[in-house]
Amino acid sequence: MCGIIGLLSEHRDVVPELLDGLKRLEYRGYDSIGVATLNPNGELERRRTEGKLAALSKLLHRKPLSGFIGLGHTRWATHGAPSEINAHPHATPEAAIVHNGIIENFQEIKTRLLTEGRCFETQTDSEVVVHLVSQKIRQGLEPLAAVRETLPLLEGAFALVFLFAYHHDLLIGARRGSPLAIGFGENEMAIGSDALAIGPICRQLIYLEDGDLAVIRPGSVKIIDQQGLSAVRPRRISSVASLDLGKSGYRHFMLKEIYEQPQVIGDTLNTMINPVTGRLSLPNLPELKRTNRLTIVACGTASFAALIGKYWIEKLARLPVDVEVGSEFRYRDPVLAPGQAALFISQSGETADTLGALRLCRKMGQGILSIVNVPESTIARESNVLLSTVAGPEFGVASTKTFTAQLTLLAALALVLATHRGHLSEQQETHLIRALMEVPAICAEILANTGPMEALARELLAPARDVLYIGRGLSYPLALEGALKLKEISYIHAEGYAAGELKHGPIALVDENVPVIVVAPTDHLFSKTASNLAEVNARGGRTIFIGDKDGLAKISNLAGSLILPKIDPFVIPLVYAIPIQLLAYYAAVTKGTDVDQPRNLAKSVTVE
């Protein structure tokens, strides 16, 4: 996924604000970056480079660029290696574009254009767009007409912003599948991938719908929908303007966001618990209350939250739950009875695989619910029922606070369904709500003493080439999440397994070089997990125990241990997520990797 921004100002050089916008967008992709403006003569000028914003700032210091209108782009490469030449904006003498998405039929278009004599400079898919538009401008079409004739030729997903030579007062945006927001600032207009990009300079925002075309001029925007009709989209007040988008003194966004979790869990709970009755109150959720099966679809960390949700909902509400990863679900021709319900979990609300699954489920007559962190996102807007995590923007590519916020909502959902389906008494519900309400303080207590996690990560994980995580029951998805966290930010190979599965093959991996992290809180499965830990020890493995002091008293021969407060088993995932995240964080810091923007990754994958 990439970050795109366009600015049109009546009173100032837009390049500094383009750079600020790109800084806020870097979480979306950061392997190459660029800006384009019109010089006083109306000619297009660009500055592009491989690398991140710092590299672009250095380039601009050597070769300044200014203008009252411009584009910016920060890239996560799909077609064409990260390089200056493949960096956006792509341009011809007539136009420049920035693109987020994939033009799936770019090769056939490129082949045709090459035979027609067009010269390409990049290996990207995006470049075909600017050539198509330029060709039509050279045939005498005005910019808007050239764009309107170009878009139907494109297959795939795109958010595009166009800048035209000699048109100092025009930007055109087009949306199909990838988000685009338009902002109204003080004597300036903005367009960007999301509210974070343009929110701080715009008081009001509108979000384009799929198929929309936006013609932006000073102080105004004209929207044309996919039927070619003039459309009006609701204006929303930008909530981003007042947010602290910095690191607030933390070394990394990821660490800041890990420390925000007590607040985030508490805030999310407070949106669902009636302060007077102390009972949960969620939207009516008819889709959930009438269904006899729930399908949950998500990707990555969100899919592990989904798996924990399955365990909670099946155990408490006795409702069958299937958990699917989006990229597989949408292509395996699933069987779903109409009238059932499907829940989509996504931090960004833009993940293409999850969105594709949502649209398939809608076609199959499912009631559509979603848990997202960005209420204006596409998944949110295409759901019948939206359950918002109130985690605030998450800049670290590795999901942390949004994971525990998703879990908080899922725990509440399980309780509401269990009560509705008659499997939970008011007294039992009150007990479990109380356990949830204690989580923020417990997490804060753990965060007040992270020395043990840092030491274990530095001494046992950072030097390792392979790491295993194991757990049972609610700790099994935590093992999967722990492995993902470690590998995605420290680049250490790690695998998560159901502890009972180890003996069916993976235990062959165990030797003195492979740390095995055993997530073993005191619950009904503790003794079985303790046996699996002993099996690892018996083969010379080095085990790291994560549990409470009662459990520790029953375990021996450990290479390390993290002791957490004794808690109600219901809230294990919320509390044990904290050490899991911190082990990965400190291992990555020890290894010196780019914690917030790990190699090859992007915060939200809006391509398949």
Stretch that binds ligand AGP, among 165-173, 340-348, 518-526, 528-536 (CB under 6 A): 340-348
Amino acid at 31: D
How many Å apart are CA 151 and CA 213, to the nearest integer? 10
562 sits in which H/E element: strand 560-563
Residue carrying the six token digits 């925007």: 221
Contact pattern for ligand AGP over residues 297 through 326, marking x by CB under 6 A: --xxxx------------------------
CB under 6 A: which stretch of 131-139, 149-157, 393-401, 422-430 binds ligand AGP? 393-401
Q: How far apart are CA 418 and CA 408, in angstroms?
A: 15
Residue ranges with strand state E in 392-457: none
Find the part of the chain contacting ligand AGP (CB under 6 A) among 16-24, 201-209, 293-301, 536-544. 293-301
- Closest residue to ligand AGP, judged by C-beta, is 300
Closest CA to 48 of 86, 97, 93: 86
**Choice between 375 and 500, CB closer to ligand AGP:** 375
The strand pairing partners of 4, in sequence order, are 73
Shortest separation between residue 486's beta carbon and ligand AGP, angstroms? 11
Q: Rule CB under 6 A: which of 576-605 touch ligand AGP?
A: 604-605
Binding to ligand AGP (CB under 6 A): which residues in 396-415?
397-399
Q: Three-state DSSP class for 535? A: helix
Stretch that binds ligand AGP, among 78-86, 254-262, 391-399, 513-521 (CB under 6 A): 391-399
Compare residues 298 and 443 and give the one whose CB is closer to ligand AGP.
Answer: 298
CB of 555 to ligand AGP, least distance (A): 29
Least distance CB 399 / ligand AGP (angstroms): 4
| 478 forms part of the interface with ligand AGP (CB under 6 A) | no
- Among 74, 80, 69, 76, which Cα is nearest to 48's? 74
Residue among 488, 495, 523, 548 that touches ligand AGP (CB under 6 A): 488
- Told to check if 377 binds ligand AGP by CB under 6 A, we report no
**Roughly what angle, to the nearest 10 degrees, separates helices 572-591 and 261-270?**
150
Decide whether 34 or 349 has the Cβ nearer to ligand AGP: 349
Listed ranges 295-303, 307-315, 569-577, 580-588: which one lies at the site for ligand AGP (CB under 6 A): 295-303
Whole-Å CA distances, 473 to 18, 75, 231, 309, 319: 48, 39, 50, 12, 17
Sheet (strand 542-547) strand order: 493-498, 466-471, 515-519, 542-547, 560-563
- In the complex, the smallest distance separating the C-beta of residue 348 from ligand AGP, rounded to whole angstroms, is 3
Residue 135 or 348 having the CB closest to ligand AGP: 348
Q: Using the 8-state DSSP alphabet, how is residue 211 labeled?
A: T
Q: Which is the catalytic residue, given 52, 401, 485, 603?
A: 603
Residues 6+ apart with CB under 8 A from 304: 403, 477, 478, 480, 481, 484
Do 98 and 161 form a contact (C-beta atoms < 8 A)? Answer: yes
The CB-of-531 to ligand AGP minimum distance in angstroms stands at: 31
**Which residue in the block uniquely carries the two structure tokens 């989580």?**
439
Distances (CA, A) of 496 to 257, 446, 483, 500, 591: 23, 23, 5, 12, 21
Is 603 catalytic? The answer is yes
* Binding flag, residue 190, ligand AGP (CB under 6 A): no
Encode 8-20 in three state secondary structure.
EECCCCCHHHHHH
CA distance 2 to 161: 13
Residues 228-247 contacting ligand AGP, CB under 6 A: none
The residue within the footprint of ligand AGP, chosen from 49, 92, 295, 348 (CB under 6 A), is: 348
**Residue whose CB is less far from ligand AGP, 346 or 543:** 346
Query: Closest separation between CB of residue 385 and ligand AGP, Å?
Result: 18
CA distance 216 to 291: 45
DSSP 120: -
Centroid of chain to Cα 13? 32
Site residue total, ligand AGP (CB under 6 A)? 15
3-class secondary-structure state, position 495: strand
CB of 304 to ligand AGP, least distance (A): 8
Which residue number, 191 or 302, has a Cβ lying nearer to ligand AGP?
A: 302
d(CA 378, CA 492): 33
Please identify, using beta-carbon distances, which residue of 299 and 436 lies nearer to ligand AGP. 299
**What is the CB-side half-sphere exposure of residue 410 using CA atoms within 13 A?**
34
Minimum Å gap between C-beta 396 and ligand AGP is 8
* Options 2, 202, 299, 443, the catalytic residue: 2
CA dist 231 → 6, 217, 223 (Å): 21, 16, 5
347 lies in the site for ligand AGP, by CB under 6 A: yes
The answer to whether 361 is a known catalytic residue is no
- Binding marks (x or -) toward ligand AGP, 438..477, rule CB under 6 A? ----------------------------------------
**Minimal distance in Å, beta carbon 277 to ligand AGP?**
32
CA–CA separation, 296 vs 357, rounded Å?
10
Task: Closer to ligand AGP by CB, 370 or 450: give it.
Answer: 370
Q: How far is the C-alpha of 178 from the C-alpha of 209, rounded, in Å? A: 10
Q: Please identify, using beta-carbon distances, which residue of 307 and 424 lies nearer to ligand AGP.
A: 307
Q: Does 346 bind ligand AGP (CB under 6 A)?
A: yes
Give the shortest CB-590-to-ligand AGP separation in angstroms. 19
Contact 366, 392 (CB under 8 A): no
Q: Which residues bind ligand AGP (CB under 6 A)?
A: 299-302, 346-348, 351, 354, 397-399, 488, 604-605
Q: Which residues are catalytic?
A: 2, 603
